Structure 1
């Protein structure tokens, strides 16, 4: 079986949440958000090798939380960089091979499903990449520099999520590039390197928790499950 790896990026500061502590450590359903996310990946495949990228100064906090919640999932914790690009590259540097597949996921997307994780690996194995996305629900307008706007066809656009999964060899080549300001996710890095991006169906439930409203929605989702 092809080696499978996951890099969970958890470098948020909590500024949009209006707090000073990292949002990935906030509890939902009695457990920090990041732990929910890790468990989704670990439960998807017992052989999956999971790395979590955290700011170096958050290591003691994470260690204390693992003790507090008796969290014993087998993961590797890696120091992140100043940007998402640097953090993913740090995680990639800890994978010793070019043979296999790697999924990159936001630490604050705890509702990713096993089906989506498996679909991303299966698609990337065939095509080189698999990037989760969902169609837009709302109407969209394109802003011009002069402040005017025009309607565009929302059917031509997608909202990008994670996981974003790639064949390791091409992913490593893509991350040899100099960082660019438009590198907002891994797909933009791989696209810049000249590799095609395969989109797969994500889920509207696969929310990224970044605001107090998101936190309330997440609590409600967990209550509806249990």
Structure 2
């Protein structure tokens, strides 16, 4: 059985409003609903685990009633950190379950079906896979005293989600104590000494964080419609 854990724990502070960013409308529909729909469009049999802060769950359920949103999912409580939220989502997958689980940012509603497929297919072969993009901007490393130097952008990649893993492997990885070096779910798995395969992501798979991102999101929707 394959799963996806959609983590939506943001408070939306950088959006400048009281409504958490995952609930803001894009094209007349809350972002989080669009994200869930993408994964069911990829595979309707995929089991969706939605991770939300407990304080936001009633509001989310009211939104589902307002918008007539009936996609299937199970709900897990969000934690204080991304690590804790992912761990809470993983706890809803039965021990001993075989298959794959993706972990995806709830505010990335434009992940392509092709990207999702590449991640799950690569994880089937390699046990862990992440989508990446090449860096197009010039990068500069800032030194200890504020001076800097250019670095080769060809040595770096932009990391997206979903990050997809063998269920047994990711459950084992999240038995560790949380560390500051765990910047994403793949870094938790890599701490066990495991290699993570990289596959091509898609440019539209942006993380909606600022008001400007919402403007871009509307443009993406208009372009794809």
TM-score w.r.t. structure 2 length? 0.98
What is the CA–CA distance in structure 2 between the aligned matches of 1:64 and 1:106, rounded to whole Å?
21
What is the CA–CA distance in structure 2 between the aligned matches of 1:223 and 1:132, rounded to whole Å?
24
What is the CA–CA distance in structure 2 between the aligned matches of 1:10 and 1:40, rounded to whole Å?
15
How far has the Cα of 1:164 moved from its partner?
A: 0.2
- State how 1:93-112 maps to structure 2 within 5 Å: 93-96=91-94, 97-112=96-111
Q: Which residue of 2 aligns with 1:80?
A: 78
TM-score w.r.t. structure 1 length? 0.97
> Among residues 13, 23, 26, which one is paired with 2:24 in the alignment?
26
Q: Retained in 1: the 8 A contact 2:118–2:200? A: no
Q: Which residue of 2 aligns with 1:66?
A: 64
Q: Which residue of 2 aligns with 1:11?
A: 9
What secondary structure is seen at the aligned counterpart in 2 of 1:16? helix
How far has the Cα of 1:98 moved from its partner?
A: 3.7
Q: Retained in 1: the 8 A contact 2:173–2:192? A: yes
Q: Which residue of 1 aligns with 2:117?
A: 118
Question: Is 1:48 equivalent to 2:46 in the alignment?
Answer: yes
Question: Is 1:172 equivalent to 2:171 in the alignment?
Answer: yes
Alignment gaps of 5+ in structure 2: none
Q: Retained in 2: the 8 A contact 1:177–1:193? A: no
How far has the Cα of 1:204 moved from its partner?
A: 1.2
What is the CA–CA distance in structure 2 between the aligned matches of 1:209 and 1:53, rounded to whole Å?
17
What is the CA–CA distance in structure 2 between the aligned matches of 1:213 and 1:202, rounded to whole Å?
21
Q: Retained in 2: the 8 A contact 1:98–1:172? A: no
Q: Which residue of 1 aligns with 2:159?
A: 160
How far has the Cα of 1:20 moved from its partner?
A: 2.0
Q: Which residue of 1 aligns with 2:199?
A: 200
Provide, for residues 154-173 of structure 1, a one-character-per-residue CA deviation record: whole Å limited to 9, x for no partner: 00000110010001111111
How far has the Cα of 1:133 moved from its partner?
A: 0.8
Provide, for residues 104-143 of structure 1, a one-character-per-residue CA deviation record: whole Å limited to 9, x for no partner: 0000000011111111111001011110110101011111
Q: Which residue of 1 aligns with 2:188?
A: 189
How far has the Cα of 1:62 moved from its partner?
A: 0.4
- The number of equivalent residue pairs is 224
Q: Which residue of 1 aligns with 2:129?
A: 130
